[in-house]
Amino acid sequence: MLRDDIANNSLERQARILLLRFAVHFDKPTGMPEELYKECLSAFNSHRGKVEWQEDAILKVLQNYKGDHP
């Protein structure tokens, strides 16, 4: 099975991928900086048990990161 680089997806799709990975404890996806992954994981944990809030929290981290790293 080929593994896609997460950076090739929209931010919304990246947030969903991360949400699913965090929920089932998968490894960091290919193509994501470690610091960004940890920030997203922290956002996920801050909203644990509230799936729609978890995804939104992760998406906000990704949007902020993209704004800081064009």
SS3 sequence of the chain: CCCCCHHHCCHHHHHHHHHHHHHHCCCCCCCCCHHHHHHHHHHHHHCCCCHHHHHHHHHHHHHHHHHHCC
Q: The domain containing residue 41 runs over which residues?
A: 10-68
Answer yes or no: is 1 within a domain: no
Answer yes or no: is 5 within a domain: no
Mean pLDDT value across residues 1-8: 67
Residue 25 has pLDDT above 80, yes or no: no
Number of domains, the chain: 1
Mean pLDDT value across residues 37-46: 87
Whole-prediction pTM: 0.57
Answer yes or no: is 61 within a domain: yes
